[in-house]
DNA sequence: GGGTCCAGCCTAGTCGCCCTAGGCAAAAAA
DNA sequence: TTTTTTGCCTAGGGCGACTAGGCTGGACCC
């Protein structure tokens, strides 16, 4: 019998693409097996279980996102860097809704510590160097930034902004202006 | 055979409480039936299907949250109102993680239009009256506010802030200060 | 009080998914 | 070539979503 050449990496990538097409909640071990022309039981040689698969997709997504943010950030500083970061983040979420959804599962601490989430956090802090914030304001500002980005993207995707005609692109741009303003003048 | 007295309302409430205890993703029709000492098939007389149940829980949660925000807001204005709104929002999400998770499913437009989400939106706009913002800045500001609240709560819950020792309560308070500052001085 | 109706429960059964156990053949190693 | 490992298979159990069809307790009507 010809072997399908399944590996954990190929499974993870296929799961990520499937997630972007049909939604993460519909990515099942059985559906994935079908894509490879293989029985579902066979996949358990490569992944531990369904949760393991989701974690792998989340880690892939975190790493891809960190890469995109990193290259968007190259050579920029201040508001320029803030906007580049934010746009890279939102663009990734819009292009890859399934991967973005996968990123939201909570990883156990050691997995999270070994993930690209760390690079992500470092880049966020790097942006704030342009705004000269000392601790603990810096941590608070990082958290606010991240909250704004994630909250906006998440509400946009679940239709939380649909009831108003205003363009979400415009609102996004103005939100970034506001964020820049408050970071430049962080209240005591 | 003694009747269990199941109604759609009681099912919805029980599902909401179950969600807060074991997580929305574990609220199944079968589990709910067990709580009522009834077979799962029997529940289909009261709810259309599993999705219908989730929508009912979401609507219940939206309505409860709108009530709490409304009473928190009574008699307040300006930053006072902003903080009261935000704290009511976050407190609800922390007390009722399952209900909060249920709120995130996307409702079809007409259901959403008939939901308490509308009251919620009105109250958000009411807060902004204290900051004297005209359209379209008002809409942008509403979106930013909502993004910040939802993003913060959501990241806090999925452990996105765990890698830094800083108290999340403190960060939350400072984030609200920052939001107040930027709303008071919205960039042109 | 007896008959009718039907809401509210039931059993039985289908299907899809998750996962384990054990078998067999192809590919790789010895 | 022989042995080992690897990658797939079939079979099967458990659980959840949902449908079809049957029984019954209680409300209403005469």
pLDDT per residue over B105-159, tens digit each?
989 989 999 999 999 999 999 999 999 999 899 999 999 999 999 999 999 998 8
Closest CA to B81 of B89, B73, B71, B70: B73
- Long-range residue pairs from B157-160, CB within 8 A, at least 24 positions apart, any chain: B157/B93, B157/B94, B157/B97, B157/B100, B158/A104, B158/A105, B158/A106, B159/A106, B159/A107, B159/A109, B159/A112, B160/A146, B160/A150
Chain A environment of B143 (Cβ under 8 Å): 152, 155, 161, 168, 171, 175
**Average pLDDT rounded to a whole number, residues B85-113:** 95
pLDDT confidence of residue B186:
96
Contact B102, B49 (CB under 8 A): no
Chain position carrying tokens 């437009």:
B109
Chain B environment of A171 (Cβ under 8 Å): 139-140, 143-144
pLDDT tens for each residue of B41-71? 999 999 999 999 999 999 999 999 999 999 9
Contact A12, A86 (CB under 8 A): no
Task: Provide the positions of strand D that have an atom within 7 A of a protein CB.
Answer: 7-12, 15-21, 24-26
Contacts of residue A129, Cβ cutoff 8 Å, sequence gap at least 6: A77
pLDDT confidence of residue B106:
86
Answer for B42: CB within 7 Å of strand C: yes
Distance A175 CA to C17 C1' (A): 43
Give the pTM: 0.92
Distance A175 CA to D20 C1' (A): 55
pLDDT confidence of residue A3:
62
Answer for B8: CB within 7 Å of strand C: no
Closest CA to B186 of B125, B131, B130, B122: B131
Closest CA to A17 of A3, A36, A42: A36
Chain B environment of A186 (Cβ under 8 Å): 178
How far B187 CA sits from the closest chain A CA (Å)?
6
Nearest by CB to B178, from A112, A152, A182: name it: A182
Answer for B25: CB within 7 Å of strand C: no
Torsion angle, CA of B87/B89/B94/B95, rounded to 10 degrees?
Answer: 100
Q: Does A159 touch chain B (CB under 8 A)?
A: yes
Kindly report the average pLDDT of chain B as a whole number.
93
How far A2 CA sits from the closest chain B CA (Å)?
38
Reported confidence tier of residue B6, pLDDT bands at 50, 70, 90: confident
In chain B, % of residues over pLDDT 70? 97
User: Which mean pLDDT values do the consecutive 10-residue runs of chain A (188 residues) have?
Assistant: 73 95 95 92 92 96 97 94 97 97 92 91 92 93 97 93 93 98 94
């Amino acid at each position: 019998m010809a072997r399908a050449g399944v590996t954990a990496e190929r499974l993870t990538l296929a799961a990520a693409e499937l997630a972007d097409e049909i939604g993460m909640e519909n990515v099942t071990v059985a559906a994935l097996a079908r894509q490879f022309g293989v029985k579902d039981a066979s996949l358990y040689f490569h992944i531990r279980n369904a949760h393991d698969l989701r974690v792998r997709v989340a880690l892939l997504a975190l790493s891809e996102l960190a890469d995109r943010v990193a290259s968007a950030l190259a050579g920029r500083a201040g508001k320029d860097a803030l906007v580049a970061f934010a746009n890279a983040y939102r663009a990734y979420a819009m292009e890859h809704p399934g991967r973005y959804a996968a990123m939201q599962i909570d990883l156990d601490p050691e997995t999270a510590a070994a993930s690209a989430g760390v690079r992500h956090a470092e880049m966020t802090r790097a942006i704030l160097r342009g705004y000269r914030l000392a601790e603990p304001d810096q941590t608070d500002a990082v958290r606010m930034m991240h909250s704004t980005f994630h909250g906006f993207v998440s509400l946009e995707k679940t239709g939380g902004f649909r009831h108003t005609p205003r363009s979400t692109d415009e609102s996004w741009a103005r939100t970034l202006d506001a964020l820049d303003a408050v970071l430049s003048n962080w209240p005591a």
